Structure 1
Amino acid sequence: MRSRVNRRLLAGVAAFGVGALALTGCTGDIADDGGDVDCAPYEAYGTDEGKTVTISGTILDLEADRLVESWKDFETCTGIEIDYQGSSEFEAQIAVLAEGGNAPDIGIVPQPGLLARLAAGGWLIPASKGVEDNVDKWWSADWKQYGTYDGTFYSAPLMASIKGYIWYSPSEFADKGYEVPTTLDELKALSEKIAAEGDHKPWCVGLESGEATGWPGTDWVEDFVLREDGPDVYDQWVNHEIPFNDPQIVKAFDSVGEYLKNPDMVNGGIGDVSTQISEAFQTAGLPILDGECSLHHQASFYETFWNPDGGDANTVAPDGTVWAFLLPPVNADDPQAVTGGGEFPVAFRDAPEVETVRTFLSSDTWANNRVSLGGVISANKGVDPDNASSELLKQSIEILQGDTTFRFDGSDLMPGAVGADSFWKGIVAWVGGQSTQDTVDAIEASWPTS
């Protein structure tokens, strides 16, 4: 055991990420909060006293706080200090930083398409044997493939999410006699019923996310492609085996447009249709708490945002303040299919301490640490679903570990010029009034030719 350890604690969260990190010391295996730290789970990582690893990503606010907490004991036991900085501009800036030699040691990349772009630029360090051994043990082959480019494995997955959840108030549903829909037609009928009652708009939506504004709308389209036309068409679309302006994709856009472009449907508690573009995705569902809308489409990770101050005033449970059901299939007896996402810690600096951190982040130890802190899930097969912070997240982990048809977020798999650019921008233009055909034609024209 080491005679001295250092630990970084989150001191604050800046508007675009984690703020200053305070450095404190302690002796032996005694943590700076006065509690004992069991270093047994971290012995395999050795010690690297005095080494620092910088990490950047899109994870902000309370989620960033919990991320820092998840590796606190690892820092104590290995001596490696981790300096995390989050930014909503990470996706737009990371390639520029890498090209200029100013990238962090590790970047938590939320898109396989962006990972491919960074790898093609020659900026990434291939994953070490320790990382690869972990991904082979704890993750499916599909997840490993998402971290691979041109035959080289660059990153194990980190966290995951199930997309396509529809958040609602169980008490409102009970009071008004609403039934959870089992088909897309039933969802449409429920939305029309709420709209006709006139108390409030049925849906609240927020598409704003800094440089990534528009991405929540891409999730809607992807969910409808997968449900209306199935996984084979979804795969063909994502891989550009059919064009972006294929009639099947036009149909999915128009199905989504019946909600997002319809002033009778949105934007409850916020404003007219146009306010979707300016409303932050983090706050967009909160009008449900005030009875100003009834439905909000967002991923499993949105659980964190129901208590923005980090408390537990709003419970996530079937009989709680909020709960969620998955966007239903076309037919009630159709197999359930879901989209989802994840992050990938890629390395820009070739150093043993960097790979030690990445190996830890790919382990079942880290995954259980982070899931236990609340608000997120992982597709790591070593995660105990009972560690999840709510029944919904436990359900989400079981979905990832089960036989449900799963497809990674389509825009995240597309080339960066599309999935992290023209598709996002196209959603904004489309919600702003541009026709479906003009929108999909413009996105198709942006698809790289090689």
Structure 2
Amino acid sequence: MMRRRTTLLASCTALALSLGATACGGGGPVSAGGGDKPLSGQTINVAGVWSGSEQKNFQKVLDAFTEKTGAKTQFTSTGDNVSTVVGSKIEGGNAPDVVMVPQVGVLQQFAEEGWLRPLSKTARKSVDANYADVWKNYGSVDGSLYGLYFKAAHKSTVWYSPDALDEAGVEAPASYDAMLEAGRTVSESGLAAFSVAGQDGWTLTDWFENVYLSQAGPEKYDALAAHETKWTDPSVVAALTTLGKLFKDKELIAGGQKGALNTDFPGSVEKVFGPEPAAGMVYEGDFVAGVAKDQFGKKIGEDADFFPFPAVGDGKAPVVSGGDAAVVLKDGKSPKAAMAFLEYLATPEASAVWAEVGGFLSPNKELDLASYGDDITRETAKSLVDAGDSVRFDMSDQAPAAFGGTKGAGEWKLLQDFLRDPSDPKATAAALEKAAAKAYQD
């Protein structure tokens, strides 16, 4: 579908001036109001997937924007089906002003539907100055920058109980094979090595992506993410074979394959950091720390720690990320205030608000690491920023939702099937290609 061209409304405000910016329309600065609260009287509606503690923490960012500008804010939680919810609101004449989009594929869909306004000159300037190019690329469609990545996830972290590893006498491994060997030593000490959240198919895509990025390399990763390389490629079969070594080893997985398929993500964290530990390690993103801290009272860095997902074979250690990009809908009712909000989100000041309360990483390299509340989060954030353009966005989030983001279908289901029976990587690769081809064609 051809993307309908839209005209960028001037969105520069006194807020932009306070950030040292100029008007984005080429003339003098545009004021949205008077006094110290330039957007008083305006309201923006922001939609996003967040709920619970994440929504509560994002509200602090919204409140800080209100304090700075006078604009009121309303947040609507969409749940996981962002595309469906937002599309319905647009059709009903009730489009939100800003959407926090969690998937590259959805951002691209929104742009192709003609729903989005390109970012203002002020926001683009901040992205150019404060972000690695990779974040700009993931926020762009057909050469226009639509998405401002505010919140990121570091999905190349393996979390562990220091007590469990100490009891087994093992240290954080430096290679994938060493990680499996360390896991076997942990299992000999009485705990399973890994808690795997197989009930949630998205966690299995993350396992695959880390193995594939390290083993096949970034160029192959990009080609597979764009479906320029087929899933039947030998590199995919090799990665599935590597992953299958873990999935089929009953010593390594808490409850075996059946137990993993009955464990969701929060349950996988509980099996390591809950009151009755069943495993020593759990792989997932930096957000594991939030669950371990908030639900099980663990002190990050003492009761819960992480090591980087290790390199596979001769490859480099992977850095897979995810993130939420702020976009402005063209049918929103407050376009100037909405764009001013994105200009605010592009500043280190806005990121610091959430960083201070935890459960947050920023791709903004100008954010002072001292803003984060603990050394482990600072280490994770530094790793993400230092990775620069070698970061690769979650592959399943780049795919059409029918393949990479639907419960019980596509990649999620097929990798669950592979966890259940990892004996035939070639057959799994063929099934993945069949599902991918249909989703990309549709």
Instruction: Note if 1:337 corresponds to 2:321.
Output: no
1:161-176 equivalence runs, <5 A: 161-176=153-168
Q: State the partner residue of 2:218.
A: 231
Given that 1:168 and 1:324 are in contact with CA atoms closer than 8 Å, whether structure 2 keeps it comes out as yes
- 2:300 and 2:365 map into 1 onto residues whose CA distance is 24
Which residue of the other structure, out of 280, 292, 311, is the alignment partner of 1:294?
280
Determine if the alignment matches structure 1 residue 248 to structure 2 residue 239: no
Given that 1:323 and 1:392 are in contact with CA atoms closer than 8 Å, whether structure 2 keeps it comes out as: yes
Deviation at 1:383, TM superposition (A): 0.6
* Letter of the structure 2 residue corresponding to residue 326 of structure 1: P
Cα distance between partner residues in 2 of 1:54 and 1:103: 8
Paired with 2:313 and 2:138, the residues of 1 have a C-alpha distance of: 30
Q: Structure 1 residue 80 and structure 2 residue 71: aligned?
A: yes
Aligned to 1:305: 291
Whole-angstrom CA distance in 1 between matches of 2:268 and 2:235: 29
SS at 2:327 equivalent: strand
**Please, which moves more after superposition, 228-237 or 105-114?**
228-237
The answer to whether the Cα contact below 8 Å between 1:329 and 1:336 also exists between their aligned partners in 2 is: yes
* Corresponding residue for residue 368 of structure 2: 384
- Change in 2 beyond 3 A, CA 1:103/1:130: same
Aligned partner of 1:124 in structure 2 is 116
| Residues in 2 aligned to 1:306 and 1:194: alpha-carbon distance in whole angstroms | 20
Determine which of 298, 307, 327 is the counterpart of 1:325.
Answer: 307
Q: C-alpha distance in 2, partners of 1:283/1:58?
A: 21
Task: Note the 1:29-44 alignment, pairs <5 A.
Answer: none
Distance 1:226 1:430 in 2: 19
> How far off its partner does 1:293 sit?
0.6
Q: 2-side partners of 1:279 and 1:53: how far apart?
A: 39
Check 1:326–1:82 CA distance in 2 against 1; reply closer, same or farther (3 A cut). same
Q: 1:258 aligns with which of 245, 251, 254?
A: 245
**Structure 2 counterparts to residues 346-361 of structure 1, below 5 A:** 346-348=327-329, 349-350=331-332, 351-361=335-345
The SS at the match of 1:383 is coil
| Match among 339, 343, 349 for residue 365 of structure 1 | 349
1:114 corresponds to 2:106: yes
Alignment equivalent of 2:52, drawn from 37, 58, 61: 61
- CA positional deviation for 1:42: 8.1
Match of 1:440 in 2: 429
Matched residue type, 1:152: S
- Contact conserved, 2:118 with 2:144, CA < 8 A, in 1? yes
Instruction: Please report how far the alpha carbon of residue 279 of structure 1 lies from its aligned counterpart in structure 2 after TM superposition.
Output: 3.0
Distance 1:152 1:417, change over 3 A: farther
Cα distance in 1 for residues equivalent to 2:384 and 2:172: 22
Q: Distance in 2 between matches of 1:244 and 1:95?
A: 31
Alpha-carbon separation, structure 1, partners of 2:202 and 2:99? 20
- The answer to which structure, 1 or 2, has the higher relative contact order (CA under 8 A, 6+ apart) is 2
Q: CA deviation at 1:328?
A: 1.1
Q: 1:22-51: per-residue Cα shift (whole Å, max 9, x none)?
A: xxxxxxxxxxxxxxxxxx978988522232
Q: In structure 1, what is the Cα distance between the partners aligned to 2:342 and 2:243?
A: 39
Q: Which residue does 2:146 correspond to in 1?
A: 154
Instruction: Spell out, residue by residue over 1:254-304, the C-alpha distance to the aligned partner (whole angstroms, 9 max, x if none).
Output: 2222323544322x3xx4523434433134212212331111001112211
Q: Is 1:407 the counterpart of 2:388 in the alignment?
A: no
Q: Cα RMSD (Å) of the superposition?
A: 2.6
Using the TM superposition, name which of 167-176 and 395-404 deviates more. 395-404
CA contact (8 A) 1:117 1:416 kept: no
Residue 12 of structure 2 corresponds to: none
Q: CA deviation at 1:251?
A: 1.7
- Is 1:420 the counterpart of 2:400 in the alignment? no
| 1:52 aligned partner | 43
Q: CA deviation at 1:103?
A: 4.2
Change (3 A) 1:119 1:247: same
TM-score, structure 2 as length reference: 0.82
Residues 339 and 437 of structure 1: CA distance in aligned 2, closer, same or farther (over 3 Å): same
Whether 2:442 is the aligned partner of 1:429: answer: no
Q: In 2, Cα distance between the equivalents of 1:218 and 1:262?
A: 19
In 2: Cα distance, 1:64 partner to 1:420 partner: 22
Change (3 A) 1:99 1:53: closer
Q: Distance in 2 between matches of 1:171 and 1:200?
A: 11
One-letter code aligned to 1:224: V
Residue 374 of structure 1 and its aligned partner are, at CA, apart by 1.2
> Which residue pairs with 2:134 in the alignment?
142
CA-to-partner distance for each residue in 1:201-234, whole Å, 9 max, x for gaps?
21112245xxxx4111111001001112222222
Q: For residues 428 and 123 of structure 1, do their structure 2 counterparts lie closer, same or farther at Cα, with a shift above 3 Å needed?
A: farther
**Matches of 1:89 and 1:235 in 2, distance apart?**
25
**Aligned partner of residue 182 in structure 1, secondary structure:** coil
- Flag structure 1 segments of 5+ consecutive residues without an equivalent: 1-39
Q: C-alpha displacement at 1:441, in angstroms?
A: 2.0
Instruction: Pick closer, same or farther for the CA change 1:59–1:262 going to 2, 3 Å.
Output: farther
Instruction: Give the distance between the partners of 1:355 and 1:66, measured in 2 at CA.
Output: 21
* Paired residues of 1:274 and 1:432 also in contact (CA < 8 A): yes
Task: Tell me which residue corresponds to 1:11.
Answer: none
Q: What letter matches 1:165 in structure 2?
A: T
Distance 1:278 1:158, change over 3 A: farther
Give the aligned partner of residue 17 of structure 1: none
Equivalent pair of 1:277/1:428 in contact (CA under 8 Å) = yes
1:221 to 205, 208, 212: 208
Between 133-142 and 426-435, the greater mean CA deviation after superposition: 426-435
> Which structure 2 segments of 5+ residues have no match?
1-16, 22-31
With normalisation by structure 1, the TM-score equals 0.81
Structure 1 residues 41 and 287: CA distance shift in structure 2, 3 A = farther
Mark the CA change 1:103 to 1:260 in structure 2 (over 3 Å): closer, same or farther.
farther
Matches within 5 A, 1:6-17: none
- How far apart are residue 73 of structure 1 and its match? 2.4
